[in-house]
Chains A and B, each alone.
Chain A
Amino acid sequence: MIRYLQIFGTFVAASLVRDMTFRLNFILECVTGLGWMAMNLAFYLLVFSYTPEIGAGSGWTKPPFFVFLGTGLIINAIVQAFFMPSAEEFAEMVRTGGLDTTLVKPVDAQFLLSMHRVKFSAFANGLVGVALVAWGVSKLDPAPTTAAWLLYPLLLACGVAILYGFIVMLAAATILMGRNQSLYDFWFYITNFSRYPAEIYTGPWGGPLRMVCTFVLPILLVVNVPAHTLALPIRTADVRLIIAAVVAAAVMLGLSRLTFQAAISKYRSASS
């Protein structure tokens, strides 16, 4: 474990050197991310100028909703910083045969392939997320309980773990399907469902969709559970969702491990 932490530390240092070598590019990436984020924020501010709440009786008024947005930004920043850059390179490695050199190295292939590159510019949005959560929490009445504060980091970690599982399985699909040019597209469309509070999915279509996105593809647990735990009062039903998030994180990590190993066993080198 310590050895892996040391290797990861080396990856972080190397990525930092790389990012700082192209400082202007780094600044542009930060500005790009912040620009899109600011635009989304402006959109929700506009929406709240027309309605006091997203979903009648849902509790998602402006302060809790901004805690929700901030939580989403934090989780996505962690995923975009630590896992997404490596996953994006993965498809190219399969296509060119560059995967071969990785597989013969004396470290775990999944660790190496999913965490070797860190994108520091992704943290810019994460910092804004922290600021949004701080602003939202300061306006909450009642303020979050101690239990909520203790659960929040654990549930953030669960959200990250669920998304990591999705990324690894999508990357594994690269080997099985022979193509994954649209990895990022799939990622966008999957995570799109997690961008809003689960309470909006109601009615004859919304109910089943909510169930599927909670218990089959647990994408709705990623942001909803930590944000709900911190921003809104915890009820009995929410405790079940908290347990579901922890279980889903464990299942996704296990399942992604199995999928990845199955995919690697089917890998046939593309190099000569």
Chain B
Amino acid sequence: MSGSATLSREQLLPSWHGWSTMLSISVADRLAHRGDFFVGTLFRFLPIVTQIFLWTAVFSAAGSGLIAGYSRNDFVAYYLLTMMARSFSSMPGLAGGIARSVRDGSVKKYLVQPVDYVGFLMAARVAHKLVYFAIAAAPFSLMFFLCRDFFPPLPEATTIAAFLATLVMSFLLGFFLEATLGMLGFWVLEVSSLIFVYMLAQYLLSGHMFPLDMLDSIELTQAGFTLGDLVQLMPFQYTAYFPCAVWLGKIEGQELAYGLLVEAIWVVVAAAACRIAFLRGTRRYSAYGG
């Protein structure tokens, strides 16, 4: 069976009714596990406690009020903001799920039905995030309220707008990057090792572990090109570091506008890569039997 030949434009771009149906199905599915969601979210804040103590200890011995331009309070605020950014950009199980559906053949139902697979996955993720934020709003608000003294004064409205734009784009970028990775399942049977490499790169290079500015002290060339410069050429920073740095006022003015533009370009590139991988993948995909 070859799927792509049967897909019309309408199937690739489903109607609003199709989108809302896919969304409501996914919301219902997610709400079935709301208890797990709530408890899981609360526990996820525990490592922040150790981070506060760790960075307090580091600063007490560092002899400087600033590390890579960040104060101790900035570090704590950064980690809290990272949790928020990652809650937008992380896509647990997406790549593995796509690869599994290719491997076990369940992807074929999306090829013969008038449903766009990427669209369905996107609707499912939007639903996942909507339910997640509806339930996680309480623990998030509590933690941000308790830690309010670590944050600088509220930024200007334009910075807040830019921050929100980076979060939305970080969701899209995270989705398309992982979906593209999952689509590789059309070519290779087992993508788990690729997912592992991606997760490792993502964790280290996105700024999830530490502000990427800390890498600016490591020079790679005599011309002053640093490890930080190299990492900032990659798309990963937009899934954690960039939104946090925007809120904390580390990226402003022209640099901020340029960053938003580059992030938007990365989203378009990742979306195109995902769509091409899906179309080419379904062209070579074959399945037999019921």
Contact = CB atoms under 8 A, between A and B. Distances in A.
Contacts of B57: 54-56, 58, 196-197, 199-200, 202
Contacts of A56: 57, 60-61
A51 B40 contact: no
A189 B196 contact: no
| Interface residue SS majority, chain A | helix
A35 interface: yes
Interface residues of A, number: 37
Contacts of B209: 39, 43
Interface of A: 28, 31-32, 35-36, 39, 42-43, 46-47, 49-58, 181-182, 185-186, 189, 192-193, 195-197, 199-203, 206, 209
27 contacts: A28-B192, A35-B200, A39-B200, A42-B204, A46-B210, A46-B215, A47-B210, A49-B218, A50-B62, A51-B59, A51-B61, A51-B62, A52-B61, A54-B58, A56-B57, A58-B61, A185-B40, A185-B43, A189-B46, A196-B54, A200-B50, A200-B56, A202-B53, A202-B56, A202-B57, A206-B53, A209-B49
A58 B60 CA distance: 10
Nearest to B58: A51
B47 A192 contact: yes
B193 interface: yes
Contacts, number: 82
Given A50-B67, A195-B50, A196-B50, A36 B200 contact: yes
Given A55-B57, A196-B54, 19 more contacts: A35-B196, A39-B200, A39-B203, A43-B209, A46-B215, A50-B217, A51-B59, A53-B61, A56-B57, A56-B60, A56-B61, A181-B36, A189-B46, A189-B47, A193-B50, A196-B53, A197-B57, A200-B57, A202-B56
Contacts of B210: 43, 46-47
A210 to B, nearest CB: 9
